[in-house]
Structure formats: structure tokens, C-alpha cells
Homo-oligomer: A and B are copies of this chain.
């Protein structure tokens, strides 16, 4: 581990895993390719862990997603804190039973006798021409699942802090890593970031943009442009999707009276629908218009570059909607 505080997302998550495993020997890591013999993860996120902590605690697995999550659940029920990797978010459909019917429910169904303190790391995000089965955002499925928590850092500092909190958390946490942001460096303070707390990434007074992962940076870029036209956009980085920070969103919305929720998942039935509904339900009369939503086009992720670009949200789409809402 390097001492400097400038890290990219890969380094930050790696440091968080490293620190957690050092401090607590019940923390485990498992998943495909995670061992150093396999180069420490396809993107190197788990590099060094198996060498340092041994292959009993760091298990590079066969391609067996159901067994990966199942093993994590079992080890968790047996007193450990496994961090399981499902390489890409699309593959999370494979162990969906393990997550939905088991990890999320065992605490409740056992009346609190058992719990499942696992972290499921997964990466996703379009932009690398990987086509229809490699870059979907599915956070809404898990936000709709009682018992699950979901976090999605947009920068290295949050990645470190949220990973530490996710590992500490006594319940299952889905940790979504935005692949195209992996190499963007940032200061890492190594502070824990509480799950459920959003961050105001930029203050503003006219309109509120609620984003996470990709859409935070896009929101900031859009805000920069809008400022030139005298429009002041506040950008909120959710950081946690389940639970999400109602207080932060509502208080910003109360101030600005206008809300856009933006995410890379397809718009329809995305988390923007829930957030917009809650905003509308709570602030009716105080808003200048209904909360609106931006998401990807309602289709599988396309391969061809011009289509892939048109598919996802971007700063221009956010800016255009903001202007439209300003009337």
C-alpha cells in the first residue's frame, strides 16, 4: 500500500480491502480471478490480498456465481465477513436466488438469529463497446429488495469510505463499481462514509440534480455549463441507493423547487421513479414542477459506438432538461 493519499478507484477499493483484512481477520475475499496467481482480479482491485492474507482467506473461485454467493452467505452465517465479487453486474442475474431469497432474507426469516454481513462487489457501466450483456445497471432490483443495502461510489474517497462501512455493516451490501471511473484519481482521506448519507457535490439554488456513479460527474459538468447561463444547479451524490438519503434530497428540493434524478439504468422503473415519487409526495405545493428523471434508453446496451453514446445519459441531456425546467 502506498502512503500517498492520491489514488484511483481501483487503488482506493484495494486499500479499503487491505485495511479491513488487516484490522479484522474475519474479513474474507472471494470471487473469480481475485487471487494473485490470477493477477488479483481482472482490473487488479484485489491485487496483493491473497499474497498477504493467504489463500484460505482469499479464495479465487471457479466460475460458479451461485456457489460464490452461497459460500459467502454460509461463511457470514458462520461468523465471517466475506467480500464476494461478481465480476460484472450482468452476471449478478446468475446468483439472484442466493441474493434475493437468502442473503436479503435470512435475518428476517430467522427472527434475527442469523444475519448475513456480506459485501457483494460488482462493476458495470457502458462506454467500452462491450455490448448487451456487460454494462447494465440493475440497482433498482436490489433497492426493491427488503434486507439489501446498495451503495455506489462516484470517486475514490467515497469508494474507500463506503467499502469500509459496507464491510462493517451487519447486513448484505451491494457495492457497485463504475468501471469507466476506475482510473480517475482523487484524494483519499480513509474516513468511513456512513451508508445512507448523501453528499452535496456542488451547491446551487435553482435546481437539484440527484445522481450516483456516472451521473454525478455528468451533473457537475452540466452545472458548470448551466452556470454560464446563470442557472445554479445543486448536485447531490447519493452514494447510497438503499437506503437513500431522503432528508438530503428533500431539503435540497425544498430549496430549489426543481429536481432531476439521473442514473445510467434505463429510466423506466429505475430508482429515479421512487425518488421522484417521494419528492412529489412530500413537497407537493413547494415544487415548481414535478420531479423529473433521466436514464438510459429503454433497450439493451447497444454495441456500435454512436448507439452506445446515444443510449446513456450525459451532461448535455441533463443540461437540456434543466433548462427546460427553468422554463
Contacts and interface: CB of A to CB of B under 8 A. Distances in A.
A137 to B, nearest CB: 10
A178 interface: no
A128 interface: no
Contacts of A268: 143-144, 274
A272 B293 CA distance: 15
Contact of A269 (B93, B144, B302): B144
Interface in A102-122: 104-105, 108-109
A99 B93 CA distance: 9
Contacts of A271: 269
A108 B266 contact: no
Interface string A83-96: 00000001101101
B108 A300 contact: yes
A138 B290 CA distance: 27
Interface string A62-97: 000000000000000000000000000011011011
A143 B144 CA distance: 13
Interface in A244-281: 265-266, 268-274, 276-277, 280-281
Contacts of A272: 277
B93 A94 contact: no
A138 B146 CA distance: 12
A277 B293 contact: yes
Contacts of A269: 140, 143-144, 269, 271, 273-274
Nearest to A302: B108
Q: How many identical subunits does the complex contain? A: 2
A101 B96 CA distance: 13
A147 B300 contact: yes
A185 interface: no
B93 A105 contact: no
Contacts of A1: none
Given A93-B97, A273-B269, A292-B281, A132 B144 contact: no
B146 A144 contact: no
A141 interface: yes
Contact of A109 (B266, B273, B300): B300
A292 B132 CA distance: 34
Given A140-B269, A280-B280, A298 B91 contact: no
Nearest to A132: B109
A106 to B, nearest CB: 9
Most B CB contacts (10 A, CB to CB) among A99, A146, A266, A289 go to A146
Contact of A144 (B93, B109, B266, B290): B266
A297 to B, nearest CB: 8
A266 B100 CA distance: 14
Given A147-B300, A298-B146, A280 B290 contact: yes
